[in-house]
A = this chain, B = another copy of it.
Amino acid sequence: MAGIIVQKYGGSSVADTESIRRVAKRVVATKNQGHHIVVVVSAMGKETDGLLNRAFEVSKSPSRRELDMLLTCGERASMALLSMAIHELGEEAISLTGSQCGIITNDRHSGARIIEVRPIRLQDELEKGRIVIVAGFQGISYKKEVTTLGRGGSDTTAVALAAALNAEYCEICSDVDGVYTADPRVVEAAEMLEAISHEQMLELAAHGAKVLHKGCVEIARRTGIVLYARATSKFGGGTRIDLPGASENVDAVGVSGQKNLVRLRASGDTCLERVLTISERANVPALHLDTDMNSADIWFSLDDIPDWIGVKGDLDADIEVLEGVGAASVVGDNIGGDSAKLNLARSVAQGADINIVAMSSSPLRVTLFCEQSHVDQLVRSLHKEFISKAYAEA
């Protein structure tokens, strides 16, 4: 069988009939280059947000199972329409749900994790020469219930299928033409990256970069699948997300900003247990954790908590809540392990007169937490020091 390429088209790429026709042409053109094509689609435009809003109008805390049932409608509509548009171009296409593609998940509704992919039906269809259109964002649990993968889940579907099918690569197509050194809406001097390693992309995605979802990058990293972040409106170009190469730049590759964070603080004897139990119950990964004998702080992104109001309502009275915080992160090789770079990041914040309320680092990253209203300024200042200077010197 010829090489397989998985393409994923985001919500804005299938937002209306005209857009869907353009995607159909792009898919067929790729097939005509001699590839087998699997296309993963998101829900059209703001469809998912609309469905979510409607659910919360009906019920303050809708059942997660029913929410999943509702939300999966969005992708079903997109895939059927795209399939029809491809038929119009004279090609054979067939749409498959997450379940039909064999995307098996655990039973954590609205944030399921893919356990296994059994793409038998999908492979059969490809062998018949068909273009296969897959509904992103959804799977089926071992209990045969429809599940959703959480926000950004269509990217995850695409890369999980690419891994299961041993695809040549996976193309994530959107209205953004690649991965930039910072969000170009915030930093005018931001430049598009030609390539970045899986791990660096993972750090950027986990700390605010929106272009790719962290779950998708994590699977690509683990399975070695090459990703391309590309504009739907173009062929080629974009940013390649690949294994770290010998020629990898050892300097900073990007700066990301993150708003809408919250810090929870517990004090006293069982403080650590109490904050971790909140995190476990709400099924939210901690962005950062600070603890001491007397108090424990835990930081979350509200984007990771679908029902923040509910979680907040359940908190014990003595849990201190700080909302309206954010963070800026610099990602690059050996950033977090280099004490001079950590101190430089701190002094950049000081020079910009921005108060740092917490700091965390990993080998590839340093993150400065600050008031949300200062995030953009901090991203600009860090970008100027860590990225623009390096480009100017190169």
Question: Which B residues are CB-close (under 8 A) to A336?
Answer: 285
Which of B222, B223, B248, B360 sits near A289, CB closer than 8 Å?
A: B360
Asked whether A222 and B248 contact (CB < 8 A) given A272-B346, A286-B339, A347-B273, the answer is yes
Chain B residue with Cβ nearest A278: B339
By a CB distance below 8 angstroms, the chain B residues around A302 are none
Q: Out of B277, B334, B339, B355, name the residue touching A343 (CB < 8 Å).
A: B277
Copies of this chain held together in the complex: 2
Task: Categorize the interface residue count of chain A.
Answer: 35 or more
Name the residue on B nearest A300 (C-beta).
Answer: B339
Near B by CB (< 8 A), chain A positions 276-302 give: 276-277, 279-280, 282-286, 289-293, 297
CA distance A340 to B297 in the complex (A): 17
Check A356 for interface membership: any CB of B closer than 8 A: yes
A356 cross-chain contacts in B, Cβ below 8 A:
272, 291
| Complex-state Cα separation, A279 to B336, whole angstroms | 12
Does A361 sit at the interface, judged by CB under 8 A?
yes
Pair B342/A286 contact, Cβ less than 8 Å: yes
Residues of B within 8 A of A289 (CB): 342, 359-361
Q: 19 more A-B contacts (CB under 8 A) besides A218-B363, A292-B297, A292-B358?
A: A202-B363, A222-B244, A222-B248, A222-B333, A223-B244, A223-B245, A272-B356, A273-B343, A273-B346, A273-B347, A273-B350, A277-B343, A279-B342, A280-B343, A285-B336, A286-B339, A289-B361, A362-B362, A362-B363
Give A333's nearest chain B residue, CB to CB.
Answer: B222
Interface residues in chain A, defined as those with a beta carbon under 8 Å from any beta carbon in chain B: 163, 199, 202, 206, 218, 221-224, 243-246, 248, 272-273, 276-277, 279-280, 282-286, 289-293, 297, 333-334, 336-340, 342-343, 346-347, 350, 355-363
- What is the bound-complex CA distance between A246 and B219, given in angstroms? 9
Q: Is the CB of A224 within 8 A of B246?
A: yes
Within 8 Å by CB of A244, from B221, B355, B357, B363, lies B221
Instruction: Please determine whether A243 and B272 come into contact, CB atoms closer than 8 angstroms.
Output: no
In Å, the complex CA distance between A186 and B239 comes to 46
Residue on B nearest A338 in the bound complex, by CB: B285
